[in-house]
Amino acid sequence: MPESGPDTSPENTRKLVAPRVPVALPYIDGGDINLIPVSALVQPLRVTFPLWQNSLPSVTFPERVRLFLDDDEVADKLWTVHPIQPEDLFVDIPIDKLENRQGALVLRYDALNWSGDPDNPAQSDPVTITIDTRSPILPGTSKLQFPAEILPPLQLTAYYLEDEDKVRAHIPAYTTPKVGDVITWYWDRSLSGTIVGGTKELNAQDYDQPLFIDIGGDWIRSQHDGERYVWYTITDRAGNPASGQSQVQMLIVEAQPRPRSLPPAKVVEAWGTGWPVRGTLEPTDATDGVNVILNPASELYPGEIPQVQWAVAGQLGAYLAEPISANEWKYKIPKEYMAPHFGKAIPVVYHFKDKLDKTHESANYTLTVLNYPADRLPAPESADGYPLSLDKVPPAGASITLRRWPFSAAQQRISIFIEGIEDSSGRTIRYVSLDKHEVTPAQAIAGIARGEALIPNAEFLSCIKLGTQLTVKAYISFDNGQTWYGHAEPNPASPHLRWMKVTLVA
C-alpha cells in the first residue's frame, strides 16, 4: 500500500497533455477549431486524455479528473481500480452543461493522482473547441445576382457563353459566412423543382469576400433551353439546418449552339423586290457605283462589324467594303468595280469575326451584271476628215480616235480593226491598228488620241480601192482582256462593238 501524502515531484506538477474531443471535425484552413457537429450535441460530449504519471488508484486513494469550459467546471470522474484501462480514460460533459454555449470555448482538465495534492492538481494544456448551433441566415430579399448583360431581359444566350463558357452569379451577404459553409444551387424547369446544379464550399480565401458561384456552360447546355428557375441554400459545416431558400430567379435560356441566321445581302440598284437571293444589275444604273445593304434579319451581335465582299476575293474587280452606316449596315461599291463584271454573274457576301475570332459568312447573293448597251459606246472616228483623202494622209498614216467610253479605266484593253476592199483582188483585207492594247491612265481619262491608233499609208491604205468605204471597228475588254464584251477574243461578228465607215478618196 503506498504511503499517504502529497506528491510534489516534478513529474506530478508538470503540464498534462491537452484533452481531445474525438467527435470534433478535422481542422480546415481558416475554419473553426475543433468544431463540434450539431448531431453530437444531442448526447453527452465525450472528452478523452492520456493517463497521467504515477497512476495507482484505489478505494482509499482514488484518482480524479475535472473538466472545465471557460473555467467553469462542467464534469468530473473518479477511478478506484488499478490499473485504469485506456478505454476508460474519458469524461462525458452532460448535455445541459453545453446549452446556451456558442462560439470558441477553452477546454481543459486537471488530474489528481493517488498521491497528489488535492489543492494543487496537475493542470492540462488548454484546447479550443467550437460550438455553432446557429444556421446561416439569408436576407429576405436574397437571390442570385446575374450580370447586367443577362438581367434584364433575363436571357442567357449562346453568344454570352462564348466569352468564358460560364455565367458568374453573385450571392448577397448573409449572417454569418464561415469557412466550410456550402452553397447549394438549384437549376430546374419548375419553381418547386429539386435538381441540384452544384455546390461551392467556402474556403479561407473567399469566405469574407463578395461571394459568387460559376455555372458552367456544359451544365447549362445539358439542361436544354427554355425557362429555368435558379435559387440556392447555404449549409454550415457544423450541420445546422440549412438556411432558408433564397428567392427564385427566372432565366430564359437560349444556350444551345446553332448556326447564325445570315441571309443574303442585297444590291439596292439591282432588279428584284424584297430580299431575293439573286438580282440583275443594269450597268446604266451603276454609273456612280452601287449600294449594298444587309437584311435586317441578320443575326449580328454587339461589336461585330461585317464587311461586304464584292465578287471573289483576289480576282479582278473584287472589292472589300467597310460599312458607311452601322445603323442600317449600308456599303458603297465604287463604280470602278462595275465594268470588270459586265456580262457575268458574281457573288456578293458579307462576313465578320465574332469575339472568339471565328469567321462567319452570309448566304450568297448572286448578282448578274448585264453588258453595257452597245448603242451607248462611242464609235471610232477619223482624225483626218470625212471622206478620207489619201493625198492628205500624213506619212505615218491616218489617225483613228476614240472618245472616252463609259466606265473607262486603266488596264482595260482596246483593239481597233480596219477593213477595206483590196484594189488588185477585190477581196476584203484587214489591218489591226491596236491589238489588245492596254489602256493607260491618261487614255482612261481622255480616250484614244490622235496618233495613238494609225492606219498606215504604205502598208494598207495604198492597197485599198479608191472610192470604197473603210470599216473601222473598235473592240473593248473591261476585264483586262479576259473577255471581249461577251467573247473570248475580239470577234468581227460580235454585235457588241461600234464601228465607223469612211470613204477613201484620192
The CATH code of the domain that includes 290 is 2.60.40
pLDDT digits (tens, 9 = 90+) for 411-422: 999 999 999 999
* pLDDT band at 428; cut points 50, 70, 90: very high
Given 225, 254, 283, which residue is the final one in a domain?
Answer: 254
* pLDDT band at 487; cut points 50, 70, 90: low
Beta strands in 221-297 (DSSP E): 226-235, 249-254, 266-267, 278-281, 290-293
- Residue 181 and residue 250 in one domain: yes
* pLDDT band at 272; cut points 50, 70, 90: confident
- Residue 105 and residue 161 in one domain: no
pLDDT beyond 70 at 7 = no
Stretch 242-264: mean pLDDT, rounded? 93
pLDDT digits (tens, 9 = 90+) for 453-473: 999 988 899 999 999 999 999
- Residue 181 and residue 229 in one domain: yes
Alpha-carbon distance values, 467 to 74, 389, 459, 470 (Å): 142, 10, 18, 10
pLDDT digits (tens, 9 = 90+) for 355-397: 888 999 999 999 999 998 887 888 899 998 889 998 889 988 9
On whether residue 195 sits in a domain, the answer given is yes
Stretch 108-113: mean pLDDT, rounded? 97
Given 82, 116, 131, which residue is the final one in a domain?
Answer: 131
On whether residue 410 sits in a domain, the answer given is yes
Q: What is the mean pLDDT of the chain?
A: 91
Q: Which amino acid appears at position 219 of this protein?
A: W
Q: In this predicted structure, what is the pLDDT of residue 356?
A: 83
C-alpha distance across the termini of the chain, in Å: 165
Per the structure, the count of domains in the chain is 4
On whether residue 146 sits in a domain, the answer given is no
From CA 297, how far away is CA 356, in angstroms rounded? 22
Which residues sit opposite 503 in a β-bridge? Answer: 469
- Residue 412 and residue 468 in one domain: yes
On whether residue 102 sits in a domain, the answer given is yes
- Residue 166 and residue 79 in one domain: no
Alpha-carbon distance values, 290 to 284, 409, 474 (Å): 11, 17, 28
Alpha-carbon distance values, 376 to 33, 369, 373, 387 (Å): 97, 16, 6, 24
- Residue 414 and residue 355 in one domain: no
What one-character-per-residue DSSP string does 265-282 give?
A: -EETTSB-SSS-SEEEE-
From CA 339, how far away is CA 333, in angstroms rounded? 12
Q: In this predicted structure, what is the pLDDT of residue 491?
A: 60
- Residue 115 and residue 41 in one domain: yes
- Residue 240 and residue 285 in one domain: no
- Residue 247 and residue 285 in one domain: no
What residues make up the domain containing 308?
Answer: 266-369
SS (H, E, C) 100-146: CCCEEEEEEEEEECCCCCCCCCEEECCEEEEECCCCCECCCCCCCEC
From CA 221, how far away is CA 168, in angstroms rounded? 15
- Residue 23 and residue 117 in one domain: yes
- Residue 413 and residue 307 in one domain: no
Q: Give the residue from 412, 418, 404 showing the smallest Cα distance to 439.
A: 412
pLDDT beyond 60 at 493 = no
The CATH code of the domain that includes 74 is 2.60.40.10
Stretch 424-450: mean pLDDT, rounded? 94
Which residues have C-beta within 8 Å of that of residue 395, sequence separation ≥ 6? 457
Given 202, 220, 254, which residue is the final one in a domain?
Answer: 254
Q: In this predicted structure, what is the pLDDT of residue 484?
A: 82
Stretch 304-330: mean pLDDT, rounded? 94
pLDDT digits (tens, 9 = 90+) for 38-67: 999 999 999 999 999 999 999 999 999 999
- Residue 354 and residue 234 in one domain: no
Stretch 79-96: mean pLDDT, rounded? 97
Q: In this predicted structure, what is the pLDDT of residue 481?
A: 86
pLDDT beyond 80 at 262 = yes
Q: Give the residue from 51, 40, 205, 203 showing the smallest Cα distance to 133.
A: 40
Beta strands in 11-62 (DSSP E): 35-36, 45-48
On whether residue 137 sits in a domain, the answer given is no
Which residues have C-beta within 8 Å of that of residue 334, sequence separation ≥ 6? 289, 319
C-alpha cell at 99: 446549452
On whether residue 142 sits in a domain, the answer given is no
pLDDT beyond 90 at 8 = no
- CB-based contact 116:12 (threshold 8 Å): yes
CB atoms within 10 A of CB 462: 11
Q: In this predicted structure, what is the pLDDT of residue 140?
A: 87
Percent of residues, the chain, with pLDDT higher than 90? 75
Which residues have C-beta within 8 Å of that of residue 310, sequence separation ≥ 6? 292, 317, 318, 319, 320, 321, 333, 337, 346, 348
Q: What is the pTM of this model?
A: 0.68
On whether residue 440 sits in a domain, the answer given is yes
- CB-based contact 449:393 (threshold 8 Å): no
On whether residue 226 sits in a domain, the answer given is yes
Q: What is the dihedral of CA 76, 79, 84, 90, to 10 degrees?
A: -20
Q: In this predicted structure, what is the pLDDT of residue 10?
A: 47
